[in-house]
């Protein structure tokens, strides 16, 4: 055998004999012989096996000849019993990637499979090594078929399987992802979004949905998990960490007549506080805005516990915070999914009615709802399966309750999925606008906070300097060490300790322009909500360009402190800035100009805030609960009363939010009284009075 030849090359061969006396003359040359275009494909393996199809993958050839292009891979197969029968030809399936599916096979039959590379005019490679694979017996239902393709994660009864999904992220920071199940189908698609408080039971409910869709019965020996996030986290902290869209493509045997996308979201109101809720809202905005996100929605599913007879301030906050995300046009698409329910009317319905949650109502004015008790989803059903087993009275009662809850859940899921068909699909364009306006409002108010602090400090300095210059001008000119005491706001760094939390700080102005910010990469800060279309910041006093803004491990805040400065230093500062000697009247004129510039910056942010508030009032389903100081006071009191772990940090965050809420309330009040415009000509004392009111 001659080895080490190049692929897709022409050779001629001749031979001669070698003996102890020397070598013979060479033989005649053979005809021209061309080597194959590539080596065989390697590492042929099986992905999935079913009763009538086999999916396989392989690696491309290790050696490919020059000027050779692989056009296709040919999967060849024949029944094992026909392997040595020359009359039976290999059947071929062409694939243009390194994966392929052989369909139309017989159940419970052994097949031999191999693959080769087809290089068209250059010929074909030799076949790969062969695999012998047996198809499974024919499935009688979709549930059993999917079970065979899924991974066993927990031995039962019942056995728990996780469904095989193709996953990819729709954003670079891995906050939003899609998981696809099955192949695209011509059936119509419905999209539902599942939201609720931490601990409401969203994850288990979604797992219940997939079991219903796949036709799992109470007596079956298996269950499926679409979401399996373990139990390492506290129940007070949301188990779900990303926004995930599960695209469930229709297959024959489904219990619903359409494909469905189920969007799972992290729980609101967990122990990480309002900053976490703000991040969730921002991630929802990113998901809705992404080209790989969604454009329309059929149902907004609000998951809540049945036992909430009266909403605490924290629970009402969760309701309002979630509903404030959406536009008014989705009100009729809100569906209440009540968990931990029994056979009675859920007490939470009365609480929902009292709190004014916008949702469809039935004939008697009761909110339309669907009841679930997910305790039965993964319950031991071995007693039901084995009628002859020995049962004690307590076990039989438990089994009867579990079976009853299973039936209740199945009935509710059928009603729910039937109702989704009747709901009008709503575009997310208005909801996207709500989220965009809330983002602009957040940025404007964040900008107003430090500007007001800086402004008050600046006005105090100017007033004191004026007084000193007017009363002690002669003394200052003779005493260079004459000092003036000022209250100033000094920038201070506050460390950020929350993992995955990003920020936008201006390196020039020493100010935090946006927090929390969704953009982790400094090279893409031009996309931060604080930047305008030209790439300049709308928040920092210098209106600096985007590339002097950075993610840092701290945020800037301002702390009031007192310091003394020589009066001559302040006078010289103005003279140096304007390049000329200035008398008292000229310095006071320059100070007036500074005040006017400061007022202009504050007015611009106020106008931006006012426009956002007006537009949100028109389009949002609910106002943001954190825009009302009195509401935040109630949340703070609730935290103090309950004193759950971490409550002091959450109270600090709420107090910070209250400062922003006070600004919003002030802007709204002045807008309603039509006062904002008069600040262009107001006096220093009047303007200061407004800032401190």
C-alpha closest to that of 139 among 150, 147, 131:
147
Average pLDDT over all residues of the chain? 82
Two structure tokens written together for 393? 């009275």
> Measured between alpha carbons, how far is 94 from 90 in angstroms, rounded to an integer?
13
- Residue 150's contacts (CB-CB under 8 Å, 6 or more residues apart) are 161, 162, 163, 164, 224
Task: Give percent of the chain above pLDDT 90.
Answer: 26
C-alpha closest to that of 497 among 272, 232, 280, 654:
272
- The model's confidence at residue 114, banded by pLDDT at 50, 70 and 90, is very high
| 120-123 own/partner pairs: CB under 8 Å, 24+ apart | 120/69, 120/71, 122/8, 122/37, 122/65, 122/67, 122/68, 122/69, 123/34, 123/36, 123/37
Would you state the pLDDT for residue 417? Answer: 95
More confident residue, 29 or 486: 29
- The model's confidence at residue 624, banded by pLDDT at 50, 70 and 90, is confident
Would you state the pLDDT for residue 160? Answer: 93
According to DSSP, the residues that pair with 299 across neighbouring strands are 192
> Measured between alpha carbons, how far is 256 from 420 in angstroms, rounded to an integer?
10
Would you state the pLDDT for residue 285? Answer: 83
| Per-residue b or e along 320-352, where b marks 16 or more CB atoms closer than 10 Å to that residue's CB | bbbbbbbbebbbebbbbbbbbbeeeebbbbbbb
According to DSSP, the residues that pair with 194 across neighbouring strands are 264, 301
Would you state the pLDDT for residue 519? Answer: 86
> Measured between alpha carbons, how far is 431 from 323 in angstroms, rounded to an integer?
11
626 pLDDT more than 60: yes
More confident residue, 223 or 277: 223
> Measured between alpha carbons, how far is 627 from 662 in angstroms, rounded to an integer?
8
Would you state the pLDDT for residue 692? Answer: 58
Count of alpha carbons within 13 Å of 259, Cβ hemisphere only? 18
Q: Domains of the chain (ranges plus CATH)?
A: 181-215+241-427 (3.40.50.300), 434-496+553-692 (no CATH)
Would you state the pLDDT for residue 93? Answer: 94
582 pLDDT more than 80: no
> Measured between alpha carbons, how far is 47 from 57 in angstroms, rounded to an integer?
7
Would you state the pLDDT for residue 113? Answer: 95
Q: In whole angstroms, what separates CA 212 from the centre of its chain?
A: 26
Which run of H or E residues covers position 672?
Answer: helix 647-672
Would you state the pLDDT for residue 693? Answer: 57
- The model's confidence at residue 236, banded by pLDDT at 50, 70 and 90, is very low
Q: What is the mean pLDDT of residues 593-617?
A: 78
Question: Which of 325-329, 532-536, 599-603 shows the lowest mean pLDDT across its residues?
Answer: 599-603
Q: How far apart are the first and last CA of the chain?
A: 96
How many Cβ atoms are within 10 Å of 306's Cβ, its own excluded? 21
Would you state the pLDDT for residue 206? Answer: 93
């Amino acid at each position: 055998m001659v080895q080490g030849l190049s692929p897709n090359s022409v050779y001629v061969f001749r031979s001669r004999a070698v003996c102890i006396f020397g070598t013979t003359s060479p033989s005649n040359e053979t005809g021209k012989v061309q080597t194959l275009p590539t080596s065989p494909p390697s590492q042929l393996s099986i992905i999935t096996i079913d009763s009538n199809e086999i999916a396989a993958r392989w690696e491309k050839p290790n050696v490919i000849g020059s000027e050779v292009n692989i056009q296709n891979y040919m999967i060849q197969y024949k029944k094992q019993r026909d392997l040595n029968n020359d009359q039976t030809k290999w059947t071929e399936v062409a694939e243009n990637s390194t994966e392929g599916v052989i369909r139309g096979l017989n159940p419970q039959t052994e097949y031999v499979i191999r693959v080769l590379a087809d290089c068209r005019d250059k010929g074909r490679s030799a076949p790969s090594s062969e695999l012998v694979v047996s198809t499974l017996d024919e499935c009688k239902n979709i549930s059993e078929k999917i079970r065979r393709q899924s991974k066993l994660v927990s031995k039962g009864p019942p056995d728990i399987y996780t469904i095989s999904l193709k996953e990819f992220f729709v954003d670079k920071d891995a906050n939003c992802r899609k998981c696809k199940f099955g192949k695209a189908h011509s059936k119509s698609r419905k999209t539902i979004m599942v939201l609720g408080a931490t601990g409401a039971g969203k994850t288990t409910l979604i797992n219940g949905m997939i079991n219903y869709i796949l036709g799992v019965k109470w007596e079956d020996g298996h269950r499926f998990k679409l979401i399996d996030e373990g139990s390492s986290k506290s129940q007070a902290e949301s188990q779900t960490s990303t926004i995930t869209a599960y695209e469930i493509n229709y297959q024959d045997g489904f219990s619903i007549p359409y494909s469905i996308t189920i969007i799972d979201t992290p729980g609101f109101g967990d122990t990480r506080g309002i900053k976490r809720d703000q991040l969730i809202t921002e991630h929802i905005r990113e998901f809705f805005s992404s080209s790989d996100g969604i454009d329309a929605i059929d149902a907004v599913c609000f998951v809540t516990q049945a036992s909430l007879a009266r909403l605490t301030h924290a629970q009402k906050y969760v309701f309002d915070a979630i509903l404030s995300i959406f536009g008014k046009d989705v009100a009729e698409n809100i569906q209440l999914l009540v968990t931990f329910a029994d056979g009675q009317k859920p007490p939470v319905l009365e609480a929902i009615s009292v709190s004014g949650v916008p949702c469809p109502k039935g004939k008697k004015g009761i909110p339309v709802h669907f009841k679930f008790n997910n305790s039965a989803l993964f319950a031991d059903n071995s007693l039901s399966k084995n009628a002859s087993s020995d049962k004690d009275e307590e076990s039989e009662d438990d089994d009867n309750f579990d079976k009853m809850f299973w039936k209740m859940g199945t009935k509710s899921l059928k009603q729910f999925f039937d109702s989704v068909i009747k709901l009008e699909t709503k575009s997310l364009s208005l909801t996207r606008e709500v989220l965009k306006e809330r983002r602009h409002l957040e940025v404007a108010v964040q900008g107003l906070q430090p500007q007001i602090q800086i402004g008050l400090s600046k006005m105090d300095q100017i007033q004191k300097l004026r007084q000193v210059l007017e009363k002690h001008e002669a003394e200052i000119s003779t005493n260079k060490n004459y000092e003036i005491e000022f209250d100033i706001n000094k920038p201070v760094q506050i460390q950020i300790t929350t993992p995955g939390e990003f920020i936008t700080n201006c390196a020039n102005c020493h100010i935090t322009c946006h927090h929390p910010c969704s953009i982790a990469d400094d090279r893409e800060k031009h996309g931060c909500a604080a930047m305008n279309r030209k790439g300049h910041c709308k928040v920092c006093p210098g209106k600096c360009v985007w590339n002097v803004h950075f993610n840092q491990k701290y945020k800037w805040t301002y702390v009031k402190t007192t310091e003394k400065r020589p009066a001559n230093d302040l006078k010289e500062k103005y003279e140096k800035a304007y390049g000329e000697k200035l008398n008292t009247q000229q310095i006071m004129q320059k100070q007036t100009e500074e005040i006017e510039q400061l007022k202009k910056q504050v007015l611009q942010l106020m106008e931006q805030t006012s426009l956002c508030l007006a537009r949100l009032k028109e389009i949002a389903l609910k106002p943001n609960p954190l825009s009302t100081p009195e509401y935040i006071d109630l949340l703070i009191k609730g935290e103090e009363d309950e004193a759950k772990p971490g409550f002091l940090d959450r109270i600090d965050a709420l107090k910070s939010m209250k400062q922003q809420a006070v600004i919003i309330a002030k802007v709204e009040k002045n807008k309603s009284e039509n006062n904002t415009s008069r600040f262009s000509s107001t006096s220093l004392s009047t303007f200061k009075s407004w800032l401190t009111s």
